[in-house]
Amino acid sequence: MSTTPTVDSAGVPDIPDSPDVTGRLDGASRARLFSLLAIIVLFSEIAPIQYTMVAAALQKIAPSFPQAGANITWAMIVFGLIGASASPLIGKMSDVWGKKRMFVACGVLFAVGCLVSAVTSSWALFLVGRCLQSFAIASVIVAYGLIRDLMPRKYVTIGLGVTSTGFGFSAALAPLLAGWLVDNYSWRAMFWFLFAFTVVMLPLVLVFVPESKLRVRERIDFVGATLISGGAALVLIYVDKGQDWGWGKPATLAWLIGGLALVLAFVVVERGASAPIMDMRLLLHPRVSLVILVALLASCIIGVQGYAIAYMVQTPSQDVIQGGVLAGTLAKVAQLTGMQLPPEAVQVSLDPGYTYGNGFSLLDFAVRIALLQGLLTMVFGIVGGIVARKFGARLPLLVAVAVFAVVAIAQALAPHTWNVFLFTNAVFGLALGLYYAAAPNLIVEAVPQEQQGISVGMLGVTQSMGVAIGVAVVTAFVNAHPLQASVTVAGQPPQTSLIPQVFGDRGYELGFWFGAVTVIAALILTLVMRHGRTPATGGAVH
C-alpha cells in the first residue's frame, strides 16, 4: 500500500491525525485538560500583562532615567520590536526543537529580563532587560502550537480562543495591579511581581505540561529568519519613530526602504531555499495571506482605540485647563508687579477647544472602563472558539471586524464622554475576544502541523505591525492639532502659549476615522474569504 501523502491545492501534504504524531491527550480527564490549558494560558499572559502595566506606568519610570528624556518610549518600543521580529524564528525553533522547550526558554529569558529591569539604575541595562522580556511575545505563538498538538481536537478551537484572550488579567486586572504597586511601592515593584509570577509558573509548566512529540526534521533556515525578522524590525522602527524623526525625511525613509528590501529578499531567497523557514506557496495562498492581511488592517483600530481612549479620559477637562492657565497667569502677574488682579481681569481662551477629558487616574480608568472591556474580551474569546468549532472561524472574524467598524465610527461621531467610552469599549471588548479567537483558528485550519509555529509567528508579526501603525497614525493626527491658550490681561494684546500633551478633538476623530477605513477594508476581505466557512476541526484537515 502506498504511503505517499495526499496534497492539497497549495501543494501541502496532509498529515495523519494520530496521537502518536503529537502526543495528543485524547484519553485524559477533563480536569487534567483544563488544568493544562489554565497553566499554558496563565504562562503565556506574561506578555500582555507586562505590556499593560509598563505602558500605564511609563510616566512613573521616566524620572528614574533622566538621561533617556523623550526616548523613554523606547521602554515600550524595544519590547514590541524585538518580540515581534523574533517571533517567526522562535516559532520555527519550536517546530524543530520542541514547543515546551521553547516555551520554557521564553519564560526564563523573561524572568531574567524582569530581574535586570527591577534592580538596574542604568538606562542601557534597563533596555537590555526589556529586550529579554520581549521573548514573552513569542511564548503566545508557542502556546498555540502546544494547544493544537496536545488538546483533543474538540477542545482545540476553544483552547485557542482562551489562549488568545487570556483570563482577563492583562486587560482588566493589570491596570489595577499596576496602580496599586506603583502608588504603594514604586515602579520597580511591577518587575519584581512579574519576576515572582514567572518563577512560580515555570515549575508548573515543567511538571504538568508534556512536550509535543511533533518535530520537523529539517535544519533551521537562519538566513530566511534573519531576513524576515530584520525586515519587520526596520519597518516597525520607521512606524514607531516616524512621527518624531519626520515621516518623509530621507534618513527616516531609509529605515522603511531597508525593511521592505529585506522582506522582498526574504521572498526571493525562500523561493529557492531547499528547506525554507516557511513554504512561500503556503504563505501566498489566499487562505493564509488573506488572514494575515485582514489581521494587519484590523489591528490598526486596536492600536488607535487602545491609545486614544485611555489618553483622552486621563486628560483634564477644558475647564480645568483654563482654570490652571488663569491661576498661573494671576500668579505670574503678582510676582512681576506685586499686584493682585481680580480673576475677571484675565481672559483665557483655548484654540482649538476640546470636549473630552475627565482627569481620571490610572485606577479610575481601570475600574470604570478597562475592567468591563477586559472581562468581555475574555468571555467572548471562549465564545469565539465555540462558534468557530460549530460554524467556522470566518463567522466570528466577520462579526468582529464589522463591530470594530461600527465602534470606530461611533467613537468618531459620538460625544467624547467617559460614559460613551464605557459603552463603546465594552462592545469593542466583545469584538476583540471574537477576533483573537478567530485569527489563530483560521491559521491552524490553513497550515500543516509542521508549519504551525512559523505561520502563527507571521500572524503575530502582522498584528504587532498593525497595532504600531494605528498608534503611529493617531499620534501623528493628534500632534497636528495642538492646543494653544490665548491669554488677555486687562485689555492688553493677547499672548499665546502651547498647552503640552493636550490636543484638539479633531486629531482623535481623524484617528478613529483612519481605524474605521482600515477595518472596513478588512471587512471587505473577510466577506470574500472562502476559507473558514466550515466548522473548525482543530487542524485535523492537515
Q: How far apart are the first and last CA of the chain?
A: 21
Contact 380, 189 (CB under 8 A): no
Does pLDDT of 9 surpass 60? no
In this prediction, residue 452 carries a pLDDT of 67
Residue % of the chain over a pLDDT of 70: 92
In this prediction, residue 279 carries a pLDDT of 74
Look up residue 242 and give its three cell numbers.
Answer: 516616524
498 pairs with which residues across the strands? 484
Amino acid at 346: V
Residue 159 burial (CB count, 10 A): 30
Of 1-5, 93-97, 99-103, 170-174, which has the strongest mean pLDDT? Answer: 99-103
Set out the domains of the chain in order of their start, with CATH numbers. 19-220 (1.20.1250.20), 319-354+484-502 (no CATH)
Q: State how far the Cα of 94 lies from the Cα of 97, in Å rounded to an integer.
A: 5
* Confidence at 16, pLDDT banded by 50, 70, 90: very low
User: Could you tell me the maximum CA-CA distance found in the chain, to the nearest angstrom?
Assistant: 103
In this prediction, residue 522 carries a pLDDT of 97
Residue 501: which of 305, 359, 328, 303 has the closest Cα?
359
H or E element that contains 486:
strand 482-489
Q: Taking all residues of the chain, what is their mean pLDDT, rounded to a whole number?
A: 85
pLDDT digits (tens, 9 = 90+) for 24-62: 888 889 999 999 999 998 998 888 888 778 876 776 788
In this prediction, residue 510 carries a pLDDT of 95
DSSP state of 222: H
Q: Tell me the mean pLDDT in the region 333-362.
A: 85
In this prediction, residue 40 carries a pLDDT of 93
Contact 514, 300 (CB under 8 A): yes
Does pLDDT of 92 surpass 60? yes
User: In which order are the strands placed within the sheet that holds 482-489?
Assistant: 346-351, 482-489, 495-503
In this prediction, residue 17 carries a pLDDT of 46
Q: Tell me the mean pLDDT in the region 98-113.
A: 95
Does pLDDT of 104 surpass 90? yes
In this prediction, residue 238 carries a pLDDT of 83
318 vs 221, residue with greater confidence: 318
pLDDT digits (tens, 9 = 90+) for 117-147: 999 999 999 999 999 998 988 888 899 889 9
